[in-house]
Amino acid sequence: MTEPQHSDALKNLVIFIIALAIIGTIIALAWYFAVELPIQQAAIHAPANMRISIPNSHG
């Protein structure tokens, strides 16, 4: 392998790894917004404020 071929192969490897990282990020974001976020939002139950009447003990 001559120097230009070695450099070209390394360049292609770096491009491939960066492309994999970008594709993985896109898939992870799509999964988060399509699956995880709706599950988290459905699980949030804010407590309802209840009015509790306390009898006045001041006779």
Per-residue pLDDT in tens (0 to 9) along the chain, 59 residues:
566 777 899 999 999 999 999 999 999 999 999 999 998 888 877 667 777 777 776 65
Is position 56 within any domain? no
Is position 4 within any domain? no
d(CA 11, CA 18): 11
Domain holding 38, by residue range, is: 19-43
Distances 39 to 21, 24, 28, 43, 46 between C-alpha atoms, Å? 26, 21, 15, 6, 15
Residue linked to tokens 């949030």:
44
Is position 11 within any domain? no
Residue 17 exposure: Cα atoms within 13 Å on the Cβ side: 6
Is position 58 within any domain? no
What's the total number of domains in the chain? 1
